[in-house]
Chain A
Amino acid sequence: MNRGLVGASLLALVLVIIGVVAAYFGTRYQLRLVYSAYVNLLVVLGLQVFMGNARVTNLSHSAFMGIGAYAAAICVTPQNIKAISLPDAPWGLNTFALDPVTSALIAIAVTGLIAFLVGIVIVRLSGIGATIVSLAVLVIIHSLFLYRTDIFKGNQAFFGIPQVFSLTSVVILAVIVVFATRLFRESRWGIALRASADDEVGASTMGVNIYRLRLIAWVMSGVLLAIAGIAYAYYLGTISARPFYFNHVFLTLAMLILGGMRTITGAVLGCFLISFGLEWVRWLETGPLLLGIDLPEALGLSGIALGAVIVLTMALRPGGIMGEREIEDFILKS
């Protein structure tokens, strides 16, 4: 537990330093980039809680992020804007507006409840079954976003969300979530869950209630993903269904895998490596002039890079860069 606090504090320090450096030296565009890296960090940490501890691959996380973002957006957007953007909304959804904090709490509760209901099915399945069903969940939720255009506006922009978040707020949020996930990992539940991932039969003979622990981790993951969604919506002010689908799923999955899904340090490392590395690939994608050679435009290059990251990590270092090591292991003696 104490090591956990030390490790989380070190990571928090790193996060604050990156945030401060970006705030002082970054251009407007770079600030946006750093902000989205922090939002993705929240997603990756949320993903790590379930995937890293229970070691069951989850592919539905972006959908839960979307639920959080939309729920908060529907609550917080002022009535006069909703009257324009959601004229046909059912259940009087366009007749009220709440303050950002209440909206966020409602969004977290709604996402947590949905995660709980989905989790009841997911946690009972074996590893691979759970992964496939989570993929089906992603497709179901996405088709709901697209189908109920009267509530979610589908692929069109849901606009007018008050932009109450800044880089400072997301850095603070990230620090809190790093502590929460790290302490969960080192807690009784976290240890029991990791033990059950190593040896299911062994852990259950020692009295570990695997289904219950997985459900707890799953719901906690859902709540963290909702927070990430809210942070996304409160900064951009505009959301649509597209960012909560497949591309975002494999972007964040690649981040977690590259860093190493078993540790919080791995999640943080992978997130920042890919966030900044991908920017370079995106620059290549536009067909720049490199060493005097005019490169052609290459759409899809970033996808290939992400896929290659996943494949190469799995082939060369299945545990990711960090493996089982956390950041404090480099400093403290074991």
Chain B
Amino acid sequence: MEYLAQQMMNAFAFGAEYALLALGLAIVFSIMGLVNFAHGEMIAVGGYSMVAMAALSLGNPMIVIGFALLAAVVASVTLERVAFRPVRYADPTTGLLTAFGVSIILQNLFLLLVSPRPIAVTSLYFLEWSIPIGMVSISSLQLFEALTTIIVIVALMLFLRQTSLGLAMRAAALDFEMVRLTGIRANRVFAMAFMISGMLAGIACIFIMARRGSVDPHLGFDPVLKAFVACVVGGFGSLPGAVLGGFLLGVVEVAMLVLLPQSLGGMTDAFVFGIIALVLVWRPNGILAARAEKGDKQ
């Protein structure tokens, strides 16, 4: 029973992390059709900003967290202006390859300017302690992660439903030309999408760093690959799909970690992706994909 509760909490925390990242990918994709391969590098930017804080001996956790979030948001918005503006209205493949190139450039910049080796970051260890609830003891970090994700999803929903910019963003996902005709600035919608995406990456970064305690140039690759798979399974561009896919991936991953014998430990990801591939055989466009006929105007 305890074991089960513990594993369910694990699955929820894993799923929360993937859902946060997948949401960040989906919000950008739904508006400009860009598969943002450079999303993982936003996590790394957040991580390196913590290194910078440590170097400046600013230990206050609020400052560290705030600065990491700010760094991820600024990096994300900057990328939109510098790299993704030329391919804004290009076809998805062009955007995807551009983002892929940007991701490679950033990873190698970290390698060149900082260090190819992992750098320890200890300023977030305080987030981790264990909370006994009845018979079960829960990691505080997992609890924070789950709560934060729920708050973020609710806040994002409120933003998209209750504010005019949020409404514009939802409309932009359906018909961007129409939104521009109503006098809303395209630049503002794009900037907002990247700002939200960067913010979500920053939040995920905090939890990843608190768990791993070190940053290296490829920090973002693994979690973002999972987030991509979550997006594909949920239906690319669908926000509820991203959340569903993220949690589904979390459950499958923890199930694999529990069920697979110890000797197959290195193969967990391979099994997770294999199971997800089966879901895609059943529904090639993802579980919650819009039932658009091919050839319809998007």
State the A residues within 8 Å of B (CB): 55-57, 120-121, 124-129, 131-133, 135-137, 139-140, 143-144, 146-147, 200-201, 250, 253-254, 257, 298-304, 306-311, 314-316, 318
A318, B94: Cβ atoms closer than 8 Å: yes
Q: Which residues of A contact B95 (CB under 8 A)?
A: 314
Give the interface of B toward A (CB within 8 A). 35, 83, 86-87, 90, 92-98, 100-109, 111-112, 116, 225, 228-229, 231-232, 236, 264, 266-267, 269-270, 273-274, 276-277, 280-281, 284-286, 294-295
With A126-B284, A147-B267, A310-B100 known, 20 other A-B pairs at CB within 8 A are A57-B96, A121-B281, A126-B285, A128-B35, A129-B284, A132-B231, A136-B225, A136-B229, A137-B273, A139-B225, A139-B273, A143-B269, A254-B101, A300-B108, A303-B108, A304-B109, A306-B104, A307-B106, A314-B86, A315-B87
Query: Taking the nearest CB of chain B, how far is it from the CB of A260, in angstroms?
Result: 13
Interface centre among B92, B98, B108, B225 (most CB of A within 10 A): B108
Chain A residues within 8 Å of B277, by CB:
121, 133, 136
A140 touches B111 (CB 8 A): no
Q: Measured between C-beta atoms, what is the minimum distance from B85 to chain A in Å?
A: 9
SS of A interface (majority) = helix
Residue of B nearest to A309 (CB): B101
Residue of B whose beta carbon sits closest to that of A205: B295
Q: Is the CB of A315 within 8 A of B98?
A: yes
Does A299 lie within 8 Å of B281, measured CB to CB? no
Are B269 and A304 in contact, CB atoms less than 8 angstroms apart? no
- A300 contacts B98, CB within 8 Å? no
**Residue from A129, A146, A250, A306 within 8 A of B266 (CB atoms):** A146
Residues of B within 8 A of A201 (CB): 294-295
B102 touches A307 (CB 8 A): yes
Determine how close the nearest CB of chain A comes to the CB of B48; give it in whole angstroms.
14
5 residue pairs from A and B, CB less than 8 Å apart: A57-B93, A121-B281, A129-B285, A299-B116, A300-B108
B87-A303 in contact (CB<8A): no
Contact A310/B104 with A132-B231, A133-B232 known, Cβ cut-off 8 Å: yes
Which listed residue (B97, B101, B102, B273) contacts A140, Cβ 8 A?
Answer: B273
Determine whether the beta carbon of A250 is less than 8 Å from that of B109: no
Whether A303 lies near B105 (C-beta < 8 A) is yes
Residue on B with the closest CB to A141?
B270
Q: Please determine whether A307 and B105 come into contact, CB atoms closer than 8 angstroms.
A: yes
